[in-house]
Structure 1
Amino acid sequence: MGREYDQDTTVGNSVLRIRTRGRAVLSNPMTNRGTAFTSEQRELLEIDGLMPTGFTTLENQTRRVYEQYRSNKSMLGKFLTLNALRDRNEVLFYHLLSSHLEEMLPVIYTPTIGEAIERFSSTYNRPRGVFLSIDHPEKMEQALKNYGLSAEDVDLLCVTDSEGILGIGDQGIGGIQIAIGKLSVYTAAAGIHPRRTIPVVLDTGTDNLGLLSSDLYLGERHGRVRGQRYDDFIDQFVQTVTTLFPHAMIHWEDVGTANAYRILDRYKDEVCTFNDDIQGTAAVVLAALLAAVDVTGIDLEDHRIVVFGAGSAGMGIAGLVRDEMLRTGRSTTPEDAYSRFWPIGIQGLYLEGDHRLHDFQKPWARSRLDVAGWDVKDPSSIGLLDVVRNVRPTILIGTSTKGGAFTEEVVREMAAHTPRPIIFPLSNPTSRAEATPADVLEWTDGRALIATGSPFEAVDHQGVRHTIAQSNNALIFPGLGLGVAACRANRVTPGMISAAAQALAGLVNTWRPGAPLLPSMSDLRLVSATVAIAVATQAAEEGVAERPLSDPIQQVYERMWQPRYPEIEVI
C-alpha cells in the first residue's frame, strides 16, 4: 500500500498522501476520485487530459451514480453496478451506500447477495479478497501477506467456508461475496475504514454438484473436505491470522452447522473471534425480545419459549437468552433456564437420546418424561402444533427457513393462551419466512409483538399502524466490530454480546401502539456507535480491552471513517 499512497486509517478522515502518478492514480479505487479532482490536483498527479475537463463535487457524482443504479431493473443488475463502482472509486461507493443505506442494504447484503453468490463464477470480474485453498495450505501465509496490509492495519477479517450460505447452502468459492458484503456493512454502518478489513474464503471444496459440473466454476473441483484435515486447515488459518494481524477480530460467516459451534467453542477463549450466525443473530433477537418482554410485563425468565428450526442460529438465540435469564433472573438456576425452552428441528421436538442431534443441541433436548401423557399426532416426531398445544408458549421463534410453518392454527392456538404473544418469523428471504406479519396480526386480533428476518411493510390493523421490526444482524455486528477495534479487545465475551443487545434495546420506545421492537435500518450509524460504546465499556470492565477508552463517545466518533474525499498531499 505504501508504494502508491499512505493514509492513517485509524481516524475518521486523515490526509491521503499519494506517491503514484498518471493512470495508476485512476486505477486505484482508494486514490481515484474521477471528475472530483481539482485542476491543481490533476496537474500535480499528472492526470490532466485523462478525463473530461469539468469539475464535479462528490454530491453531484453521487446523484449521477444513483441514477445509474436506479436504471437497473433487476436486483442482480443493481448489485453488479454497485460492485463496479466500488472497484473504481471506493469513497464514492460508500458515500452512495451511506446516503441510501436502508434502500441498498438488501442489494449488497441479504437477500440479493444470495443470487450474486450463486452466480459468482459466471459474473466474475475483478478479484477482491483472499482465496485460501485446502489443497495448498503451504501458500496460506503468503496469500494473506499479499493483500498488502501490515499487523497494525487490520481490524477485521470476515471468513467463510461457504457451506451454510444464507438459505441456499453450499456455494463453494462464491461465498467470498458474503464476506465482502458483510465488510461493506461494517464500513457503511460503523465507519470501519475499508482498508482495515480483509474478506476471506476458505476453499475446502464443494458438495454442490451443479458447481462441480460447471465449466465456469472457479473453486477447487472436488467434494468438501471434512474431518481432521478440515480441522487442521482451520487451525492453521487461525494461528496464521493471529500471528500476522494480532489485533484483528475473526468474524466467521455462514460456516456449516456441524462446524460453526465447534470452531467458536474451540477458539473463543483463545483469540478475538465472533460468529455472526450464532452470536450476532442471537444478540439482535435478544434486543427485540427485551423490548417485547417489557411490553408484556412478564419477566424474561418466566416466559415459555419455542424455537422452531433449532440449528446454529436458533440455538445461538436460545443460548444468549438463557444467559440473560441467568444474568438478570432473581433466583434462576441453569436448570430453570433450560426448562423454559422447547427446541424443534427437522426430526421434531428435541428429545434426550436422539442420536441425530449435534453436540451443541443435546443440552437443550427435553426429557421424555416432559412429554409423557401428551396427546400427539406422531409420538416419534412431535411437531410444532403438538408443542404449542401442550406447552402454551408465550414466545415463538422461527429460524427454520420453512416458509409458512406458522400456520393460522398454530398462531391462533398460541394466542388463545397468552394476551401478548411474541412471534418472531425470522427466516429469510421473504419466501422462507414462517409467517407474514399481516397474517400474524390478523390471527391474533392485533395483539402479537412481531419481529421478522426479512423487511416487511407496515401493517394497518383495526386502526393501528404496526411498524414491523426487522431483526437484521446489521443492527449488531458493525457496532460490535467497531467497539472491539476502538478498545482493541482481545476477546469477544458473552458480556460484550449482552451489552450490545441491551444497548440496542435501549434505543426503542415500544409503548406507542404498533411501535417497532427495534430501531429502523435507516439509523444504522447511530445504532452502531451506541452499540460500539456499550461493547467497549463492557470490554474494559471485563479486563479484555488492551486500550480502554477514557472518553468513549468522542473516541468512537473519531474512529468512524466518513466517506468524503480527504485532503490530498502529493509526494
Structure 2
Amino acid sequence: MTVFENALSTHTGIALSVEELPTGCAIINNPRLNKGMAFTLEERDVLNLRGLLPPRIYAQDDQMQRILRRVRDLASPLDQFVYLMALHNRNETLFYRTIIENLEELMPIIYTPTVGYACQKYGHIFQDPQGIYLSAADKGDIKNLLQNWPIKDVRVIVVTDGERILGLGDLGAFGMGIPVGKLSLYTACAGVLPDHCLPVLLDVGTNNQKLLDDPFYTGLPQARLTGEAYDALVEEFIQAVQALYPHALVQFEDFANHNAFRMLEKYQDRICSFNDDIQGTGSVALAGLYAALRISRKSIAEQKVLFMGAGEAGMGIAHMICTAMIAEGMSETEALKRCWFVDSRGLVIAGRDGLNKHKALYAHEHPPAESFLQAVHDLKPTAIIGVSGQAGSFTSEVLEAMATYHERPVIFALSNPTSKAECTAEQAYKHTEGRAIFASGSPFAPVDYKGRQFVPGQGNNAYIFPGVGLGVIAAQSTRVTDQMFFIAAKTLSEQVSETDLEKGRIYPALSSIRAVSLQIAVAVAQLAYEQGLASAAKPDDLLADIQQRMYEPHYRSYV
C-alpha cells in the first residue's frame, strides 16, 4: 500500500488504489477527500486539478482563518449554522479543524442553542442530506435502505423520531438536525472518526399541524405512527443495524417520554445502546452536583433535590443521584425520598391518581403543593433542577426562597434551548445575592455582580456522551450500562479545577473537552473490561491506545 493509500484508508475506512482515486471535480466534490485550495502543486498535477482551482495555495491554518472571519461577519446564528453546515458538506476536515480549535465559540452554533432554531427551520435551510431517512413507508425494506449508506464500518448511530426535540416538541423529520449535531460532537469532542458515525431519522409522521401545513416540510405529511406498527418499525431498524453494523453503538435521542423509557427498557440489555436524554443528562447533572458539593462543603447524603419537570431528563437525573447516594451507603428507600418532583399538576405525592411507574417511585407522603414555590417552602430543598422546558419558572420568589434556606443553594436551569431555561444566570446570581451555584443547559455569558465575575457552568451532555461512546467503541463493549454513566459523572467532576470552582464554574472549560472525553473513555473502557462486556483485546496501555484512535483533522498528502 502506498503512502497515499494508507493515509486515505486511515481517514475514510476505504482502501483505494491510486487508479481508483477520484480526480478532477470528483475529488473536489467529495467532502471527505477535498482540501480546497490546500492541494499542493504536485497533488494538482496528479489529481487533474489544475485549472479547476484558483492558482494560489493556502495552508489549512489560513483556510481556517478565512472561515472564522466569515462566521463572525454573519450577524444571525442561523446564518452561521447554515454556513458551517455548508463547510461540513464541502470540506469535512477543515470543518472539524475549525470547530475543534474554536469549540467555545462555535459549539453554541453547531449545537445548542442554535440547533433548536435550525431544526424548526430545517426544511427551509435544507442543502444536502447528511444521514439516512427511514420512513414508515419503508417498512420491510429498512435493511436495504441502510445499505445505501456508503461507509460500511459504522460504530455509532444517533437516531431520533423527532417527537421531542430539545424543549421544542414534535418537529418530525426536521429533527434530523439533532443526530447530525450530536455526531459532529462525537468527532469534535472525543475524536470519534467521522466515517464511523451515522445519523438516522425515523420518519413516522408528525402531529404538528404547523409542519403538516408547511410546503417545505421534508417528512411524511401524515399523523404519527403509533402502537404495534411503530414498535415493528423500530424493531426492524434495530435488527437491520445488528446485521449490517454488529459493532455499532445506538444512541436514542429526543424520543417522547412514552417511547423513550419503553425503548430503553426493551433494548438496553439486548444491544449496545443508551438514551442520552435519560442517561446522559443524568450523568452530566450528577457531575455538576458533585462539583457543587466541593463549593458548599456538603456531602451527597445531605442533599434534597426538587425537580421542575418529571419527564425523561428529570427521571434520569434522579436515578443517577440515587445511585450516587446508595454508593455512599444510603438505602435505596432513603435515597428515593431525597428526590421530589413537581409536574404540570403540582407536587408528585403518594396517592395521587394517574402516576406512571417512573413518577410513582418518587411519590412520597406529603400534603399537596400546587405550585413550585410552595414546594420549595415546604421541602426546603438544597438543590432545584429545572428540566421542564418552562421558561422563567424559577421566579425571583423561588430563587430568593432558596437563598433564605441555604447559604449556597444549587440552581440548575437545564432546559434547552436558551429560550426555555427556567432562569438566566444573571437572575440566579442576582436573586441569591451571588450565592447560587448555577448551571444551565445552554450557555450564558459571564455575570458581573457586586464586583465579582461569575462564569456559569454549562451542564451540556457533550461532556458525557462523546467520551462514553469513545470508550465503548475502543473496548467494543456489547452493552452500555448505568454504571458507565455513573463512572463518567465521577470522572467529569474530577476534571473541574479549583480555579474553575473559584469562578463559580462547576464544569471544565469547553476548550479542554477532548482531554476530558479521553479520561471518561478510559474509565468507561476499563469498566467494560471489568464487567466482562468488552469484546476487544485489552491493550497494555489503555489510555495510549484510546488516545491514538482519536481523530485529528489534518490534511493527508495524496502524493
TM-score range, shorter chain: over 0.9
Structure 1 outlier segments of 4+, above 4 Å: 4-18
Distance 1:354 1:32, change over 3 A: same
Q: Give the structure 1 partner of residue 194 of structure 2.
A: 194
1:495 aligns with 2:483: yes
Distance 1:454 1:71, change over 3 A: same
Instruction: State whether residues 116 and 417 of structure 2, in contact with CA within 8 Å, keep that contact through their aligned partners in structure 1.
Output: no
What is the identity, as a one-letter code, of the residue corresponding to 2:345?
A: Q
1:63-462 correspondence to structure 2 within 5 Å: 63-150=65-152, 153-327=153-327, 329-330=328-329, 332-367=330-365, 370-371=366-367, 379=368, 382-462=370-450
- Return the alpha-carbon distance in structure 2 between the equivalents of residues 315 and 109 of structure 1: 23
- SS of residue paired to 2:422: coil
The Cα offsets for residues 438-466 of structure 1, whole Å up to 9 and x where unpaired, read as 22223222222111112112223333322
Of the three residues 544, 548, 554, the one matched with 1:558 is: 548
Q: Give the structure 1 partner of residue 493 of structure 2.
A: 505
- SS of residue paired to 2:361: helix
- Return the alpha-carbon distance in structure 2 between the equivalents of residues 182 and 136 of structure 1: 25
What is the identity, as a one-letter code, of the residue corresponding to 1:448?
A: A
- Return the alpha-carbon distance in structure 2 between the equivalents of residues 471 and 107 of structure 1: 17
- SS of residue paired to 1:258: helix
Instruction: State whether residues 350 and 366 of structure 1, in contact with CA within 8 Å, keep that contact through their aligned partners in structure 2.
Output: yes
The Cα offsets for residues 459-481 of structure 1, whole Å up to 9 and x where unpaired, read as 23333322211111111111111
- SS of residue paired to 2:513: helix
* More divergent stretch after superposition (245-254 vs 400-409): 400-409
CA shift for structure 1 position 428: 2.4
**Structure 2 stretches of 5 or more lacking a match?**
none
- Return the alpha-carbon distance in structure 1 between the equivalents of residues 558 and 470 of structure 2: 26
The Cα offsets for residues 402-448 of structure 1, whole Å up to 9 and x where unpaired, read as 12211222222222222221111112222322122222223222222
Instruction: State whether residues 9 and 16 of structure 2, in contact with CA within 8 Å, keep that contact through their aligned partners in structure 1.
Output: no
Distance 1:303 1:37, change over 3 A: same
1:544 aligns with 2:533: yes
* More divergent stretch after superposition (477-486 vs 412-421): 412-421
Q: Give the structure 1 partner of residue 474 of structure 2.
A: 486
Distance 1:364 1:16, change over 3 A: farther
CA shift for structure 1 position 293: 1.7
- Return the alpha-carbon distance in structure 2 between the equivalents of residues 94 and 444 of structure 1: 40
CA shift for structure 1 position 288: 0.6
- SS of residue paired to 2:198: strand
Distance 1:518 1:393, change over 3 A: same
- Return the alpha-carbon distance in structure 2 between the equivalents of residues 12 and 206 of structure 1: 35
Distance 1:123 1:382, change over 3 A: same
**Structure 1 stretches of 5 or more lacking a match?**
372-378
CA shift for structure 1 position 168: 1.1
The Cα offsets for residues 243-269 of structure 1, whole Å up to 9 and x where unpaired, read as 211111001111111111111111111
- Return the alpha-carbon distance in structure 2 between the equivalents of residues 433 and 225 of structure 1: 31
CA shift for structure 1 position 27: 1.0
- Return the alpha-carbon distance in structure 1 between the equivalents of residues 16 and 439 of structure 2: 43
- Return the alpha-carbon distance in structure 1 between the equivalents of residues 142 and 6 of structure 2: 26
- Return the alpha-carbon distance in structure 2 between the equivalents of residues 138 and 348 of structure 1: 44
Instruction: State whether residues 497 and 508 of structure 2, in contact with CA within 8 Å, keep that contact through their aligned partners in structure 1.
Output: no
The Cα offsets for residues 531-565 of structure 1, whole Å up to 9 and x where unpaired, read as 11111112111111112343122111101010100
Distance 1:532 1:39, change over 3 A: same
- SS of residue paired to 2:518: helix
Of the three residues 482, 501, 515, the one matched with 1:526 is: 515
- Return the alpha-carbon distance in structure 2 between the equivalents of residues 296 and 493 of structure 1: 30
Distance 1:139 1:178, change over 3 A: same
The Cα offsets for residues 212-243 of structure 1, whole Å up to 9 and x where unpaired, read as 11222221111011111111111111111112
Percent same amino acid among aligned pairs?
A: 39
Instruction: State whether residues 189 and 524 of structure 1, in contact with CA within 8 Å, keep that contact through their aligned partners in structure 2.
Output: yes
Distance 1:463 1:255, change over 3 A: same
Distance 1:311 1:9, change over 3 A: farther
Instruction: State whether residues 97 and 188 of structure 1, in contact with CA within 8 Å, keep that contact through their aligned partners in structure 2.
Output: yes
Distance 1:6 1:12, change over 3 A: closer
- Return the alpha-carbon distance in structure 2 between the equivalents of residues 436 and 175 of structure 1: 26
What is the identity, as a one-letter code, of the residue corresponding to 1:97?
A: I
- SS of residue paired to 1:567: coil
- SS of residue paired to 1:198: strand
- Return the alpha-carbon distance in structure 1 between the equivalents of residues 503 and 440 of structure 2: 14
Q: Give the structure 2 partner of residue 48 of structure 1.
A: 50
Q: How many residues align?
A: 552
- Return the alpha-carbon distance in structure 1 between the equivalents of residues 34 and 425 of structure 2: 45
Q: Give the structure 2 partner of residue 374 of structure 1.
A: none
- Return the alpha-carbon distance in structure 1 between the equivalents of residues 339 and 8 of structure 2: 48
CA shift for structure 1 position 524: 1.5
The Cα offsets for residues 144-169 of structure 1, whole Å up to 9 and x where unpaired, read as 1110222xx11100100000001111
What is the identity, as a one-letter code, of the residue corresponding to 2:343?
A: G
Distance 1:6 1:23, change over 3 A: farther
What is the identity, as a one-letter code, of the residue corresponding to 1:537?
A: Q
What is the identity, as a one-letter code, of the residue corresponding to 1:418?
A: H
The Cα offsets for residues 23-70 of structure 1, whole Å up to 9 and x where unpaired, read as 111111111111111111111112221111211111111111222222
Instruction: State whether residues 396 and 423 of structure 1, in contact with CA within 8 Å, keep that contact through their aligned partners in structure 2.
Output: yes
What RMSD over aligned residues (CA atoms) do the two structures have, in Å?
Answer: 2.1
- Return the alpha-carbon distance in structure 1 between the equivalents of residues 452 and 381 of structure 2: 25
Q: Give the structure 2 partner of residue 57 of structure 1.
A: 59
Q: TM-score scaled to structure 2, two decimals?
A: 0.95
CA shift for structure 1 position 339: 0.7
- Return the alpha-carbon distance in structure 2 between the equivalents of residues 124 and 513 of structure 1: 44
* More divergent stretch after superposition (351-360 vs 183-192): 351-360
- Return the alpha-carbon distance in structure 2 between the equivalents of residues 251 and 549 of structure 1: 26
CA shift for structure 1 position 187: 0.7
* More divergent stretch after superposition (472-481 vs 513-522): 513-522
- Return the alpha-carbon distance in structure 1 between the equivalents of residues 15 and 134 of structure 2: 34
